[in-house]
Amino acid sequence: MKKILEVKGLTQLYGKGCDLCFDATGPDKETNICPHCGSVVALHNLDFDLFKGEILGIMGESGSGKSTAVKCLYFDQAPYAGHAFFYDDDRQYDLFTLNPAQRRVLRNRRFGMVYQNPNLGLNFGISAGGNIAERLLMNQVSNYGDIRARARELLTRTEVLPERMDELPKNFSGGMQQRVQIAKALATRPPLLFLDEVTTGLDLSVQARILDLILEIQAELDTAMVVVTHDLGVIRLLAGRTLVMKYGRVIESGLTDQVLEDPQHAYTQKLVASAL
């Protein structure tokens, strides 16, 4: 199995920071706010590996740091500390040392991102097809017909009616907006996809269909994914391995089956037990 992503010591801190921040926060301190300086330790020493074609789940409640991790890896934020290495066939990228132009290339061509809030992932001023075209045009595609065909293909694959391809996303339901986001994220066939709470807030039946879609795509394209969620059901369905996070730290990790069937940490046990 080839490694595609290696994260070491990923740490994020908001605020001034002091020497006591890391020791004074965490799951055993029941907080991620430093009592001495008021800084928020959103993430501390996150380590994980991701392999080609694998789905890794990061599970936790709000404030656990799970979304922060993905935002750092997708370059939405610069981390406080840590390293991340992206392996793309025979190339290796030290992500947090790249310059803005290099970051942009990876974001456009090798990574995909689907946000919980479609406003972050879609341009609401252009049509659904236009959103996908934007991604393709960043990659030097210069044939209008080809762009149309590819956009239609992607939207059909994500079950958006092709007749609605030229409409603005603001006229779509929440579920359909997420589908357009997924289509857009896949436009450049990225080997790595980040999904941040993508089904949260959608109707259950819509959620189910989107989760199925993600599995189908994963099987077809062999895309490695990092799935961030607070929902056990999503983890159970999608992730082969899971990290459980609380107050910015990983408290448990392992094969999803093991973590959910035989949780070791008290918090994980509580989470599993309280799942409906």
Q: What is the largest CA-CA distance in the chain?
A: 60
Instruction: Give the shortest CB-14-to-other proteins separation in angstroms.
Output: 14
Give me the sign of the Cα torsion angle 62, 237, 270, 42. negative
Q: What are phi and psi of 52, to 5 degrees?
A: -55, 130
Could you give the CA distance from residue 235 to residue 198 in angstroms, rounded to a whole number? Answer: 12
> If binding is defined by CB under 8 A, does position 19 make contact with other proteins?
no
Instruction: Return the residue of 147, 155, 226, 234 that touches other proteins, per CB under 8 A.
Output: 147
Strand partners, 254: 242
What tokens were used for 220?
A: 């077809």
Quote the tokens at residue 177.
Answer: 């907006």
Give the whole-angstrom CA distance, residue 180 versus residue 185. 8
Q: Which residue in this structure is represented by tokens 């609380």?
A: 246
**248 is a contact residue toward other proteins (CB under 8 A):** no
Site for other proteins in 65-84 (CB under 8 A): none
6: contact with other proteins by CB under 8 A: no
Residues 113, 182 contacting (CB under 8 angstroms): no
Measured in whole angstroms, the distance separating CA 272 from the mean position of its chain's CA atoms is 22
Residue length of the chain: 276
Tell me the C-alpha distance between 40 and 86, whole Å.
27
Choices 43-51, 89-97, 98-106, 155-163; region in contact with other proteins by CB under 8 A: 98-106
Nearest approach in angstroms of CB 186 to other proteins is 17
Nearer of residues 136 and 226 to other proteins, judged by Cβ: 136
Closest contact distance (angstroms) between CB of 105 and other proteins is 9
Nearer to other proteins, 168 or 272 (CB): 168
Selected from 129, 169, 175, 248, the binder of other proteins by CB under 8 A is 129
CB of 79 to other proteins, least distance (A): 19
Least distance to other proteins from the beta carbon of 63, Å? 24
- Told to check if 101 binds other proteins by CB under 8 A, we report yes
Token pair listed for 202: 């959608």
Query: Contact with other proteins (CB under 8 A): which of 47, 76, 134, 231?
Result: 134
18 binding other proteins? (CB under 8 A): no
Binding region for other proteins (CB under 8 A):
16, 100-101, 104, 126-127, 129-130, 133-135, 137-138, 142-145, 147, 166
